[in-house]
A and B are shown apart, each in its own frame.
Chain A
Amino acid sequence: MKELALHLLDIAENSVAAEAKNITISVLFDTEEDLLQMSIEDDGKGMDAERLERITDPFVTSRTTRKVGLGIPLFKAAAESCNGSFDIQSTLGVGTQITAIFQESHIDRMPVGDLKSTMISLLIGYPEVHWVFKYGINGNIFEFDDAPIKKELEGISLTDPGVLGFLKDYIASGIESTQSPVA
């Protein structure tokens, strides 16, 4: 994968597959500490200790059509290859939290990429999930919560052309408002 935003999309798919109702994705820059932290938190079915221990192994997957799962090992490798770290916590029946930390300025750090398209893909693709996206730099955070938007729409589809245009502009201007570095 060429963008961290694609990794986030991939990891969030796992959360959906784990039947999460609430998923929060954060992308936070800390320029003082030269860090980029990404996390995905869900309230899906979670994993037991044994499975959790093996989840970063590429030969572990919950899918039935193929025997290998590469999403989590790839994301872990992306973080660790730029002086970062990777952590996954999970509790059966409670949910899973994944955090990847990158040295922001590291030469091998992948660009964040098209975060807006990742957000819109998830939002449109899984309307039954409650999505929260946080994007920030040094504590200046744009938080996108889809609950008030869905409430306001009252039965109008997220794929209505006017709504699509609104979502794109709303997310783009929100990200812009944090005056993030060119990621």
Chain B
Amino acid sequence: MSAQPKPRVGLFVTCLVDAIRPQIGFAALELLEKAGCEVEVPQVQTCCGQPALNSGNDRNAALLARQTIAAFEGYDYVVLPSGSCAATMVHGYPELLADDPDWTGRARAMAAKTHEITSFLHDVLGYVPQGVRLEASATYHDSCSGLRDLGVAEQPRALLSHVEGLNMRGLPGNDVCCGFGGAFCVKYPDISNAIVTEKAEAIEGTGADILLAGDLGCLMNMAGKLHRRGARTRCFHTIEVLAGRAGGPAIGEEAS
């Protein structure tokens, strides 16, 4: 046993992972524990509030921000398997609560210890995956919020470089939005479709077996488009591969 106590991590799984793909949440749990954390999943969590924030409904966004801060501020770290939800906590909460004297300090304090999971594993914990094997070619899409709001770019690639047998292929336009944009994709479906069509073409063009990304929203958008187009690309969250779970069903595949 090391003398240092294990860091206590509050895992916010995100509403999409909770409902659509719990495997990602379990992959997060597993990786964080492997990396030496004591992980808890506070039951008060629902959604980070981003749908309200991006709709201009600050009142509800602030209510959810307070609820989430109250549930998570006691941990050493708050970790999320999503760049956009993490960015909401890191940038959105302090902005939403800037004029609330009771909460502005708490929002900033929590923002300072909130991390997207691949950057947390790589930058904070110095985690190096070991003994993970996947014989496949894969390409990686940089989800926008993680990339631009949190600087998530090298971390997932560095972690993936330790997966034996995994052949990473560059994706042309890897840093161009996939057209998801939260409610955007259903408010302006025609525009979103035009964008994701180009993204799907680029992904198919790489010939990679697997598409990886760090946000389930973007992944659902791209996976859904790829499937509609009849492409065979299998889609996973980055951490599913890192946790050695890419042998199981991909997004849209059901366990037989």
Q: Judge: A and B partners, yes or no.
A: no
Q: Which residues of B are at the interface with A, using a C-beta cutoff of 8 A?
A: none
Q: Which residues of A are at the interface with B, using a C-beta cutoff of 8 A?
A: none
